Structure 1
Amino acid sequence: MKLDRLAVNIIFLINGFIYANWIARLPRIQELYQLNNKSLGLVLLFVSVGAISSMPFTGWLIHKKSSRFITLLGAIIFCVLVPPIPLLPEVWQVRILFYFLGVSAGLLDVSMNAQAVLVEQKYQKPIMSSFHALFSVGMMIGAGCGALFAKFSVGLFAHFLSVVLISLLLVGWASQHLIRDTPQAQAGEEGSGFRLPTKAILNIGIIAFCGMTGEGAMSDWSSNYMENIARSSQALAPMALAAFSLAMTIGRLLGDRARAMLGDRRLLIYSGSIAFLGLALSLAFPVAWLVIAGFFIVGLGLATVVPIAYSTAGNAPGLPPGVGLSMVTTVGYSGFLFGPPIIGFLADWQTLRLALLFVALLFALMTVLGFRSKI
């Protein structure tokens, strides 16, 4: 494997690793700040608002500063904002911190995928799913770390600080091998600034919206669902997220081959159907091991949705990778914007079990859109 591909893989892995570590400890964060489901959903909303506010302009920033620079900037900020999460005295301060955590996540998500598109173009074959597989590997390892730290009752600050220090060392190595795309090279490309999504980009963005809402729901609410609905132990609760991440990893490692065999349209139809069936299993039978199995199936279903969307956007005719990606990620990440508060409100109004039915309906919608898609 060439060093530039390895460096981008490491950035994807770190992103998933850091994200899953703090997501896996959400029940403790919720307990620390005495948040009900609705309040927790609103806190998570600030992450989404931050990401949405930065994504539309990340393509422009990449044009001005290069995807390498924005990738490193986003990765460093994303890491250093995690350890202070349990140290703030007021909930409003947590919301502000989560907003800037979301801003850095938005910068990182678009720019690292722009780097991935550049590497994919060098290889001249589909490899986008393999990068997202490393994100899922990071999620899986991060969820496992979360379970381990929870089992031994390690404090949140010590937990977060230790994983961040390791991650920053890896970012330092990757910084030497990311593709050095220069602002001057991008400046000559037509349409490099901010644009509204085209009709074709909007369609793939809506599919990404459904998929990313599902990913966010599985990540944000899996531990809560395991503890509060499936009545699992605290140590077992993060295993649903670990199973989901493992399935995403397997699906994405095989995703490029599946795209070549089935085509993007057929694969999207299968993906939506599988995700719906997996979540239906978890909702119909809220027993810990069945929930873990159901979340694993959901992971298999969602594995290739975002890679297909990002690869399509990054290779859109007439648009530099960063600009097409910023359009699709903005639409797609709207799922992270609307998902947490909707699920939180529904969970407080009825139950978290009913709230996740909303996500199952989005999987059904994604399947329908797959039938209508022309990609």
Structure 2
Amino acid sequence: MSWSDVQKSRVAVSLIFAVNGFLYANWVARLPRLQEIYQLDHGQLGLVLLAGSIGALVAMPLTGSVIVKAGSHRITVVMLFIFCLLVPLIPITPNVYTLWLILFAIGASSGSLDVAMNAQAVLVEQRLHKPVMSSFHAIFSAGMMLGAGCGALFVYLNVSYFTHLLIVMAISLVVALRVRHFLIPDLRNPSEEPQDHVSKNVFLHPALLSLGLIAFCCMLGEGAMADWTAIYMEKVSLADRDWSPLGLVAFSTAMMIGRLLGDGARQRLGDSRLVQGSAVVAIAGLSLALVWPVVWTGILGFFLVGIGLAAIVPIAYSTAGNIPGLSPGVGISMVTSIGYAGFLVGPPVIGFLSDWQGLRFGMAFVLLLFLTMLILNIFAVRRQRKVRIYPEN
């Protein structure tokens, strides 16, 4: 594969990451309108949105074995098209039960897309012989920012929810049609396939298990920051209501910066050192916000948490996609499945602990997970050093 072809593949995969974030942010940006259409209270909306999480969690472990048979390039394209076509159905389903099914299907398609596009990102890394995974995740974040802004624009222009989603679907489909020819085929010789099949014990693979648990701790932390920082700033740090969103702004900005710089940091420091250093930064940031809860320490603390968490999941995916004896899709699907469970477990656990002993106590649980993440990485260093991250073609 020529250098020019690799660069085209890198651009194509980058655009898919961007479209994924763009499409997701567009429909989520208009959740208040969704509530109006189906007359949902906050609790009912939460249950409806849970359908998407369940769909993703069901689909992710299955995607690895499908990728082995069909190739991540094909699964990426198929799931991207399905995701695009399903989104406009959200505001026009007959009732809340069919809406739940649509969101389950959207979650399943986007979850499979997450696994497949990250497998493609690993193949790009392998051909470039350098880390670029973090940059793909930064582009996903940029796509979400663009999608959220696009959603706000359509609200300002008073465009109907259905028309809005049709327009962004059309844009996304044009991109999908354009990039589909530049993805990297990863089908192997049929005689090699059996060693790549997902076995019953794949979750017990030591490297996958440790990487999955690290991703679980990190993704639960990411979800906690997204869900609770504004509330923490207002209720604990006693920020004015106008200032309370700044904790989330600081965290999100830091995640973007950290992911843009993450690949260069991986090359300079190595994966293990970077994960350990990142975990320490996240621990220091959250500790600052918890121990000294005032406005400026909250903003600074959550910024440090964002910097600390930014590169960890991309590193986990990249490492999982390069484990000998497993195809990238299989490794990534297992780590993604374990990690994604953090998004499901985090909100209710933190909510329960906060109701019991206060929000600072609930956020201290996240701090404990950051410490666990650091310890897991320290114990996994020897195992990770045995993984050849960037094999020759």
- What TM-score, normalized to structure 2? 0.80
Q: C-alpha distance in 2, partners of 1:28/1:239?
A: 25
Which residue is 1:34 aligned to?
A: 40
Q: C-alpha distance in 1, partners of 2:48/2:112?
A: 20
**Aligned partner letter, 2:371:** A
Q: Match for 2:65 among 60, 65, 68? A: 60
Which residue is 2:390 aligned to?
A: none
Which residue is 2:128 aligned to?
A: 123
Q: C-alpha distance in 1, partners of 2:29/2:297?
A: 19
SS of 1:114's equivalent in the other structure is helix
Q: Match for 1:309 among 316, 339, 359? A: 316
Residue 338 and residue 177 in structure 1: after superposition, are their counterparts in 2 closer, same or farther (change >3 A)?
Answer: same
Which residue is 1:69 aligned to?
A: 74
Residue 341 and residue 204 in structure 1: after superposition, are their counterparts in 2 closer, same or farther (change >3 A)?
Answer: same
Deviations 1:110-166 (A, max 9, x none): 111111111111112222222222112212222333444455665543443332321
- Number of residue pairs the alignment of both structures matches: 370
Q: C-alpha distance in 2, partners of 1:217/1:146?
A: 24
Contact 1:27 1:223 in 2 (8 A): no
Q: C-alpha distance in 1, partners of 2:223/2:362?
A: 13
SS of 2:324's equivalent in the other structure is coil
Structure 1 range deviating more: 193-202 or 356-365? 356-365
Bigger radius of gyration among the two: 2
Contact 1:272 1:301 in 2 (8 A): yes
- Residue pairs, 1:1-375, within 5 angstroms: 2-26=7-31, 29=34, 33-36=39-42, 38-88=43-93, 90-150=95-155, 155-182=160-187, 185=189, 188-195=192-199, 196-197=202-203, 198-219=205-226, 232=241, 244-279=251-286, 295-343=302-350, 358-374=365-381, 375=384
- TM-superposed CA distance for 1:13, in Å, is 1.2
- What TM-score, normalized to structure 1? 0.83
Deviations 1:316-364 (A, max 9, x none): 0111111111221121111123234445666788887875554444333
- TM-superposed CA distance for 1:293, in Å, is 5.8
Q: C-alpha distance in 2, partners of 1:280/1:122?
A: 40
Contact 2:196 2:325 in 1 (8 A): no
Contact 2:68 2:193 in 1 (8 A): no
Residue 105 and residue 312 in structure 1: after superposition, are their counterparts in 2 closer, same or farther (change >3 A)?
Answer: same
Identity of aligned residues (%): 54
Q: C-alpha distance in 1, partners of 2:124/2:209?
A: 25
Q: C-alpha distance in 2, partners of 1:256/1:218?
A: 23
Q: C-alpha distance in 1, partners of 2:301/2:164?
A: 28
- TM-superposed CA distance for 1:180, in Å, is 2.8
- TM-superposed CA distance for 1:71, in Å, is 0.2
Deviations 1:78-136 (A, max 9, x none): 22222333344544333322211111122101111111111111112222222222112
Q: C-alpha distance in 2, partners of 1:298/1:19?
A: 24
Q: C-alpha distance in 1, partners of 2:134/2:314?
A: 5
SS of 1:373's equivalent in the other structure is helix
Q: C-alpha distance in 2, partners of 1:40/1:336?
A: 17
- TM-superposed CA distance for 1:5, in Å, is 0.9
**Aligned partner letter, 1:171:** A
- The structure whose RCO (Cα within 8 Å, separation 6+) is larger is 1
Structure 1 range deviating more: 135-144 or 238-247? 238-247
Structure 1 range deviating more: 89-98 or 3-12? 89-98
Q: C-alpha distance in 2, partners of 1:12/1:141?
A: 12
Q: C-alpha distance in 2, partners of 1:273/1:343?
A: 21
- TM-superposed CA distance for 1:68, in Å, is 1.0
Residue 42 and residue 225 in structure 1: after superposition, are their counterparts in 2 closer, same or farther (change >3 A)?
Answer: farther
Residue 74 and residue 165 in structure 1: after superposition, are their counterparts in 2 closer, same or farther (change >3 A)?
Answer: same
- TM-superposed CA distance for 1:285, in Å, is 5.3
Q: C-alpha distance in 2, partners of 1:212/1:263?
A: 21
Deviations 1:200-246 (A, max 9, x none): 2101110011112233344566788889996757xx99887665444
Q: C-alpha distance in 1, partners of 2:195/2:120?
A: 18
Structure 1 range deviating more: 134-143 or 49-58? 134-143
Q: C-alpha distance in 1, partners of 2:33/2:23?
A: 16
Contact 1:83 1:160 in 2 (8 A): yes
**Aligned partner letter, 2:315:** I
Q: C-alpha distance in 2, partners of 1:29/1:345?
A: 27
Q: C-alpha distance in 2, partners of 1:17/1:124?
A: 29
Contact 1:42 1:340 in 2 (8 A): no
